[in-house]
Structure 1
């Protein structure tokens, strides 16, 4: 922890006040019954300068002492076979796996199941929510994006970046995925170490990193906000699209992402249990984030144009239609002011597709059983993931 005293420096700026008094932030408060204020700001603000030291130490001991491929194979063996107290491994590896192999007392596997089922049952709406609300909406927070810009994510391309995000999300949201040594658990550990690798690389090679304003690269408070995106913001998006979410599913969604956050090394006191806590935590974090800058606009347009670059659809006119549908969902799900800051283009009849989706969801709720929707959603999401992995695995995407 640093001794820097952080203030809620953007709390009086129009982008903050508009979001929380008349935009999606106001809707989140109404949805959750949150009581927002800055009385707990100091409890959280130090985490802007706090990082996952356990993960960082593993990267220093394993990834920085051999080739990346050798290090990756070694970590995979630890993940799949486990690490015992008597194993001859670096102390940092012992610390990592002692934590992640220890099941927290609060974990409820039944709630994990409900959370996974909501993610699957929502089918395409889940993917729309992740892309057109959670991901692109996150680009409006200028400081949050700085690690992406510094690590040259734009050169990597939106297709590859989206494929990796989808691969992670799908694999941590299936049945029993987060059990120790299972695939979702593996994705969580690998993602944690990727974050540490990127953070240490930024600290080593990017001398212009502005820690005072941007926080530590991929800091714990930013990680909290990112994973609130997967729970609170995701839930809000599903409800905007007229998905009916049961109390058990809602509790399960927050519980699932709390456990994913635990595996990723986010401090437990930053992991909300429900939508009320999540909204109150998110409110504090947004007060230290300025609105979109030029990098935000570049990231947003890279994501919008992913549909045109992606060869999953064969014909160009199909890709243009898909891009328009995503743009219409972005305007529907985000505040107009956010869309204007990100310079999201206008499209004709922009509410037609979202409103059609809402109508279809009302019909589905009456005609199809929950079980059949879970089964179909899982199948459809896996098909989308397979398509993305197929085109990025042996492609020229950077």
Structure 2
């Protein structure tokens, strides 16, 4: 259940459904591949069922931010919230009512939750090893920048000034911590990351509403609205899985169900309305189709974000030598051209590079051999170890006060 906001009475239309970028994507590009991959039947019959979520926000999170974060120092408020997350909140605790309301929801285990399915989804994320991280970066994140309105909150909160290394580190920290074994049990680390991320979204949304007077709600929707959140988490499930598929990875029915179940629960903890959270790739593709019809293609701001991410390898000191960084950037460009369709890459003004299919096809070939020669259990262990190593490297770099 959620509370309707006044803005939800506004009607958004599928305004770009006849546009070239929309029709090309769904007839010839990655959208067509997603339809073939998922068996989706796309049309606009359910558009009005979901469109009002463009003006819907997480009011529970927003009230906590107003009552806790906006009334004391940020560090003090963060410590207070951490205490609530780790120790729980009961009806008799002497805490703000907004905090009780939030934790009443997050501490309630939904009837549909299946921890065995979540485990299967986590194992798929881990056993896919570095393919998972490449997919997140070179398909999910950079592909998301092709949607101009989706990128607006990042632009207006000056994410470019923070830098792509820091932004990537934060995304990686979140993703790794919600996709480990038992991470999403109440009070565990993944649960904590979900609640903190939810409140960061509320903090950013309220700050945008307060300080950015030119926010165009009618066209852009509410900042970090529920429909945009659905699209983001379809990125972590559907788009992520499609990327693994493109790299030659295979997955069982339980793993596929598990991945969607994992992100459905993360979405629930983040305050996304349950009716927006898909159970499978067919639902996800059909929902994503509707959402893309309200999004224009990339503009100058979103292209800047894409190029900032593309050049992250050059400014990241994890690799010591410049030639190593240039080579890593080249490999990421190759993967991006391989995973995204050409029209999207051209719109984002991604550089063309020679032999761009060599590395992705080699990776695809090696994956097939690796999957047939190494046990699933060992792939999970190695994937977890390698992903934790990458995260540790990023955290060491970004937590160093000398790194800007």
Q: Say yes or no: TM over 0.5.
A: yes
For residues 77-107 of structure 1, the C-alpha deviation after alignment (integer angstroms, 9 at most, x for no partner) is 0000000111011110001101000000000
For residues 287-322 of structure 1, the C-alpha deviation after alignment (integer angstroms, 9 at most, x for no partner) is 000001001110010001100000000000000000
Q: Normalising to structure 1: TM-score of the pair?
A: 0.99
- Within the alignment, does 1:303 sit opposite 2:309 as a pair? yes
Task: Give the alignment partner of residue 79 of structure 2, picking from 35, 59, 73.
Answer: 73
How many residues are treated as equivalent by the alignment?
A: 398
For residues 371-397 of structure 1, the C-alpha deviation after alignment (integer angstroms, 9 at most, x for no partner) is 000000000000000000000001344
Contact 1:159-1:397 within 8 A present in 2 as well: no
- Within the alignment, does 1:194 sit opposite 2:204 as a pair? no
Q: Normalising to structure 2: TM-score of the pair?
A: 0.98
Aligned partner of 1:341 in structure 2 is 347
| Whole-Å separation in 2 of the counterparts to 1:45 and 1:366 | 44
For residues 138-195 of structure 1, the C-alpha deviation after alignment (integer angstroms, 9 at most, x for no partner) is 0000000000000000000000000000000000000000000000000000000000
Give 1:365 shift: 1.2
- Within the alignment, does 1:107 sit opposite 2:113 as a pair? yes
- Within the alignment, does 1:284 sit opposite 2:296 as a pair? no
Give 1:4 shift: 1.2
Aligned partner of 1:221 in structure 2 is 227
- Within the alignment, does 1:12 sit opposite 2:21 as a pair? no
Task: Give the alignment partner of residue 21 of structure 1, picking from 27, 43, 47.
Answer: 27
| Whole-Å separation in 2 of the counterparts to 1:289 and 1:243 | 30
Aligned partner of 1:322 in structure 2 is 328
Give 1:5 shift: 1.3
Q: List alignment gaps of at least 5 residues for structure 1.
A: none
Contact 1:157-1:397 within 8 A present in 2 as well: no
Q: List alignment gaps of at least 5 residues for structure 2.
A: none
Aligned pairs for 1:80-229 (under 5 A) are: 80-229=86-235
Runs of 4+ in 1 over 3 A off after TM superposition: 395-398
RMSD of Structure 2 on Structure 1 (CA): 0.6
- Within the alignment, does 1:246 sit opposite 2:252 as a pair? yes
| Whole-Å separation in 1 of the counterparts to 2:350 and 2:145 | 12
Contact 1:160-1:397 within 8 A present in 2 as well: no
Contact 1:134-1:230 within 8 A present in 2 as well: yes
